[in-house]
Amino acid sequence: MDKLNTLFAFEPNSLIGPWRRFGALGPVYEVIGQGTTNSEGERVMRIHVVESGEELDYRLTDLLDDPKDR
């Protein structure tokens, strides 16, 4: 299944809660909610970056590429 079809194969709310990492070695973040869409029309999720305390919108396609933190 390609990434576009994967975006429609689940409910985005199912991503809320787990912690992930920006890439293999990046900072940890927690998915805290659904965003809307960004200026390019891409779906975004609201995340909390643990290290900095920031809350920001993050593209769903990027989130799906990031590994879950253990």
Q: If the chain, 70 residues long, is cut into consecutive pieces of 10 residues, what is the mean pLDDT of each piece?
A: 51 81 93 88 93 94 88
3-class SS at 21?
A: strand
Whether residue 53 is contained in a domain is answered as yes
- Per-residue pLDDT at 69: 83
Burial, 57: exposed, middle or buried (Cβ in 10 Å; 0-12, 13-18, 19+)?
middle
Identify the domain containing residue 18 by its residue range: 3-65
Q: What is the pTM of this model?
A: 0.77
Q: Report yes or no on 70 lying in a domain.
A: no
- Count of domains for the chain: 1
Q: Is 31 exposed, middle or buried (0-12, 13-18, 19+ CB in 10 A)?
A: buried
Give the model's pLDDT for residue 51. 94
